[in-house]
């Protein structure tokens, strides 16, 4: 296709988009306008019904827990896909030694010191986000990601052996599978008590307590464990060959 | 509040072309991370702290990190291939 024809196709498309966009803008409701009763109802009843002060997580992990279960398994399946694509190759290519080519910049002392200082804070913050999902903004997903990014800090701090130890431990694999399975098992456990799948059957406790809101807190922790394990696995497979070569170099 | 909301919207608007217009992948990743952070700020100002946290952890940390890791792998792959052809 010549550049002239391409330009014509683009102009027609852009004109159409601009028209539809302008029409859409004309009928836009004012900022903050909300139509539909569901949001108002759920913000009114969530704290009383579920003893969870963070209504967003009450929706995610209770009222709409089935949707979140689906999302968890989307994440699970996509991480599985990456692991499958990056599985160690059978041929001899992997035996070739690592050659950084152009010299890598040496990590600065400031980087070593900062990463070591931040690590503890990040682990505590990640655990806090995961366990307080029912009380404050956050929850398992965010906390899991924060926890999963700490091994990268170990790597940046220059302790490659520790990075290898953390990321290749069986606990990481188990936490990914265990977290995802825990969510599903918790849902099935409700059916044992004669309730629907993923019904909140655990005692709700006192509003505002750490151990309150029943399954919401437990699901949040399950999700946190799964997400942390999954993302650490992702980081591991990306860096596996490079870290392996660096370890060989150190010997 | 209105001022903060408008400021955050304008910041996001200003940062978005920065991501698209930076052509070099490494600098684009940094721009993307910054853009993700500004989006997180915007969600926070619009009173959605849960979404803001998700946005910061995914958009500003994990996504750029995974892109960087992928770039590292690609660089290594290219080096290995070049060496093979050189031999």
Instruction: Give the C-alpha separation, A116 to A154, whole Å.
Output: 7
Q: How confident is the model at residue A20 (pLDDT cuts 50, 70, 90)?
A: very high
Q: How confident is the model at residue A109 (pLDDT cuts 50, 70, 90)?
A: confident
Q: How confident is the model at residue A99 (pLDDT cuts 50, 70, 90)?
A: low
Q: Confirm if A164 and A214 have CB atoms less than 8 A apart.
A: no
Per-residue pLDDT tens digits for A54-89: 999 999 999 999 999 999 999 999 999 999 988 877
Task: Give residue A97's pLDDT.
Answer: 54
Average pLDDT over every residue of A117-141: 92
For residue B37, pLDDT over 90 is answered with: yes
Domains in chain B: boundaries: 2-86
Q: Which residues of B touch A224 (CB under 8 A)?
A: none
What DSSP designation does A63 have? I
Instruction: Give the C-alpha separation, A184 to A66, whole Å.
Output: 9
For residues A93 and A142, the model is more confident at A142
Q: Which residues of A touch B75 (CB under 8 A)?
A: 101
Average pLDDT over every residue of B54-75: 90
Pairs of CB atoms within 8 A across A/B: 54
Residue of A nearest to B79 (CA): A101
Tokens at residue B83, please? 């060496």
The angle, 0 to 180 degrees and rounded to 10, between the axes of the packed helices A215-250 and A140-148 is 10
Task: Give residue A188's pLDDT.
Answer: 92
Kindly state whether B83 is in contact with chain A, defined as any CB-CB distance less than 8 angstroms: yes
For residue A164, pLDDT over 70 is answered with: yes
For residues A22 and A103, the model is more confident at A22
For residue B83, pLDDT over 60 is answered with: yes
Q: How confident is the model at residue A244 (pLDDT cuts 50, 70, 90)?
A: confident
Instruction: Give the C-alpha separation, A22 to A20, whole Å.
Output: 6
For residue A135, pLDDT over 60 is answered with: yes
CA distance A146 to chain B (A): 7
Per-residue pLDDT tens digits for B4-28: 999 999 999 999 999 999 989 999 9
Nearest to B62 among A100, A101, A231 (CB): A231
Residues 2-41, chain B: which have Cβ within 8 Å of A?
Answer: none
Kindly state whether B70 is in contact with chain A, defined as any CB-CB distance less than 8 angstroms: yes
Task: Give residue A145's pLDDT.
Answer: 94
For residue B69, pLDDT over 80 is answered with: yes
Written as one string, the DSSP assignment of B19-74 is HHH--SHHHHHHHHHHHHHHHHHHHHHTT-HHHHHHHIIIIIIIHHHHHHHHHHHH
Instruction: Give the C-alpha separation, A155 to A92, whole Å.
Output: 27
For residue A100, pLDDT over 70 is answered with: no
Candidates B50, B77, B83, partner chain A, best to mutate (most A CBs within 10 A) = B50
Other CB atoms within a 10 A radius of the CB of residue A118 amount to 15
Task: Give residue A108's pLDDT.
Answer: 84
Task: Give residue A181's pLDDT.
Answer: 93
Q: Which residues of A touch B33 (CB under 8 A)?
A: none
Average pLDDT over every residue of A135-160: 90
CA distance B70 to chain A (A): 7
Q: Confirm if B53 and B29 have CB atoms less than 8 A apart.
A: no
Question: What's the helix, strand, coil split of chain A in %, to 5?
Answer: 70, 0, 30
Q: Which residues of B touch A98 (CB under 8 A)?
A: 76
Instruction: Give the C-alpha separation, A18 to A184, whole Å.
Output: 46
Task: Give residue B87's pLDDT.
Answer: 63
Classified as helix, coil or strand, B85 is helix
Per-residue pLDDT tens digits for A179-233: 999 999 999 999 998 888 988 888 888 888 888 888 999 999 999 999 999 999 9
Contact across the interface for B69 and A138, Cβ inside 8 Å? no
Instruction: Give the C-alpha separation, B49 to A37, whole Å.
Output: 22
Contact across the interface for B66 and A242, Cβ inside 8 Å? no
For residues A94 and B41, the model is more confident at B41
For residue A120, pLDDT over 70 is answered with: yes
Q: How confident is the model at residue A36 (pLDDT cuts 50, 70, 90)?
A: confident
Distance of CA A85 to the CA centre of its chain: 20
Using the structure block, give the residue that is written with the tokens 């404050």: A136
Q: How confident is the model at residue B54 (pLDDT cuts 50, 70, 90)?
A: very high
For residues B36 and B76, the model is more confident at B36
For residue A93, pLDDT over 60 is answered with: no
Kindly state whether A96 is in contact with chain B, defined as any CB-CB distance less than 8 angstroms: yes
Kindly state whether B72 is in contact with chain A, defined as any CB-CB distance less than 8 angstroms: yes
Task: Give residue A143's pLDDT.
Answer: 95
For residues A17 and A214, the model is more confident at A17
């Amino acid at each position: 296709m010549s550049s002239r024809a391409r330009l014509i196709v683009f102009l027609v498309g852009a004109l159409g988009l601009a028209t539809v966009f302008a029409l859409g803008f004309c009928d836009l409701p004012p900022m903050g306008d909300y139509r539909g009763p569901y949001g108002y109802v759920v913000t009114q009843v969530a704290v009383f019904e579920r003893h969870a002060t963070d209504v967003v997580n009450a929706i995610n992990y209770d009222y709409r827990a089935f949707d979140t279960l689906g999302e968890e398994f989307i994440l699970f399946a996509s991480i599985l896909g990456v692991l499958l694509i990056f599985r160690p190759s059978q041929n001899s290519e992997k035996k070739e030694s690592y050659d950084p080519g152009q010299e890598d910049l040496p990590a600065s002392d400031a980087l070593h010191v900062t990463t070591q200082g931040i690590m503890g804070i990040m682990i505590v913050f990640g655990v806090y986000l995961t366990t307080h999902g029912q009380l404050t903004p956050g929850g398992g997903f965010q906390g899991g990601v924060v926890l999963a990014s700490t091994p990268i800090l170990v790597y940046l701090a220059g302790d490659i052996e520790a990075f290898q130890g953390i990321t290749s431990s069986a606990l990481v694999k188990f936490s990914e599978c265990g977290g995802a399975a825990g969510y599903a098992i918790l849902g099935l456990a409700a059916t044992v008590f004669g309730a629907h799948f993923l019904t909140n059957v655990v005692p709700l406790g006192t509003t505002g307590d750490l151990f309150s809101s029943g399954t919401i807190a437990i699901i949040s922790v399950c999700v946190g464990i799964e997400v942390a394990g999954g993302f650490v696995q992702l980081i591991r497979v990306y860096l596996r060959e490079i870290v392996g070569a660096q370890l060989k170099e150190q010997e | 509040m209105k001022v903060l909301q408008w400021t955050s919207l304008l910041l996001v608007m200003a940062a978005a072309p920065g991501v698209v217009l930076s052509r070099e992948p490494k600098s684009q990743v940094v721009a993307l991370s910054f853009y993700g952070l500004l989006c997180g700020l915007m969600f926070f100002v619009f009173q959605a702290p849960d979404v803001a946290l998700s946005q910061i952890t995914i958009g500003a940390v994990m996504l750029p990190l995974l892109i960087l890791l992928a770039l590292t792998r690609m660089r290594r792959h290219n080096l290995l291939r070049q060496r093979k052809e050189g031999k």
